[in-house]
Structure 1
Amino acid sequence: MPLNLFPLQYEVIPDKADHTRNVINLIKEADEIVHGGDPDDEGQLLVDELILFAGYTKTVKRVLISDNTPNAVKKSLANLKDNSDFFGIYQKTYARTAGDLLYGLSMSRAYTIAAQAKGYQGVLSVGRVQTPILGLIVRRWLANQAHTSSFFYTLDGTFTVGGNTFTARLKPSEDLLKDEKGRVIDKAAIDRVGDRCKGQAATVRDCAVKEKQTTPPLPFNLIKLQQHMNKRFGLTAAQTLEITQALREKYKAITYNRPSFPAHISCN
């Protein structure tokens, strides 16, 4: 431990062998290559891996296309970069991929052997992403199982002042019985306060007017959109991705649909 996996060895997936061979043959015939992978980390890695695997040493340019409309594509093609400028992105993504592989295989083996020594007969899968997520789910489930129902009470009133109607909530006084979060747990006491206030005139003791600015929400990135579509329409992440892919490729209605970074608005 850990497993000695370096340098990583690439192997072509059998059902992709013919396609890969054809692409590599075309790469070797080219005097110059334009790298047109998706404008993100994985897009950089995907094409760079194939170029390096083919042993290509001539000029490689990089085009970044996030908008498939003709004018935007022409503008991107007129602004080619040296692919070497993006080598750091390739290295970063390759390192993450290699690290995930090393960590996943080594830790899965270690945990499985340790568990089997205690009588467990299955395989324990460990991963950089999957294990923390599984831990969050398990802790949430355990907290749910250990939860004991408790009740607290609030008192809301509707008031009319100067022709304007608004709702206000009672701020509990010190003599009301409260839980550790300051919430009233004595229903009878709340009911008595409500009965005393019902139909009575209210006095506004203090009033403040403040100007506030609220910025509009940013456009969705893919993750936020998938969350929204699941809550609003019950769509799975895969369904939302499929829809955005069609909107981008078929209808050219949106720009690149797979960014993991926060959405922003470009002035270009």
Structure 2
Amino acid sequence: MQKAVSLSERKKFSVPVNKILPFLIPIIVILAWQVSSSLGWLSSSILPSPLAVLQDGITLTASGELPKNLSVSLYRATVGLLIGGGIGFLLGFINGMSNTCRMLFDSSIQMFRNIPHLALIPLIILWLGINESAKISLVAIGTMFPVYINTFHGIRSVDPDLLEMGKSYELSKKQLFFKIIFPSALPQILVGIRYALGVMWTTLIVAETISANSGIGYMANNAEDFMDMETVILCIVVYAILGKISDLVAKSFESILLDWQKTGRSKA
């Protein structure tokens, strides 16, 4: 009995290996980086130590500069994603559901999709100037196409047998969409959103280094002018953390919204 209790207690406090492994390589890299800096193998003018970057982050947080610029970047990224993702989903839904709309719009959308959206920066600056709308528009353009292409293919890839079965049960078009088409397309739509999140941060980095006066990208660009390597590395780390957090949020939504798939597999 005592053995059973001790084993259960041990299981309660033990950390699963799959929770540790994702952090193993980053921890090893940071430790090797710090040791190399401490031993003088890495010059601080080329690559400051993790502790120096951390100290710089604490200083900028205490002064309010980092939180202020971080909030600006989050605002631009969120609004751009909502606009671009919303348009991409709407176009993907319309073209996926209607053959007429697909023939009318899809070819033109695919043509514009193959234009690198960052190449539009000079044009966007000429049209919208260097204010917030230009940066948000650039993020929206970058995030629109991943959501569009995955929504479109998700809807077009719905199993025809499921649609036939729904029609045999005399489901209305609305019921067909919400009970069969949308749930079947949802996994691919979520993949598109997850990919769009990566494009969102990549686009924002570039947008905030061009004629900006706020944001994390502006901080990095400004620090580069003054050869402030600690702040440059800090901004890169902040972008990496933001990207990881947004990816974890997307994965959480996937696990919640696609829970029915796991339930179906376990029953099978």
TM-score if structure 2 supplies the norm length?
A: 0.22
TM-score if structure 1 supplies the norm length?
A: 0.22
Whichever structure has more helix as a proportion of its residues is 2
Whichever structure has more strand as a proportion of its residues is 1
For CA contacts below 8 A with separation 6 or more, give which structure has more relative contact order.
2
Q: Which has the larger radius of gyration?
A: 1
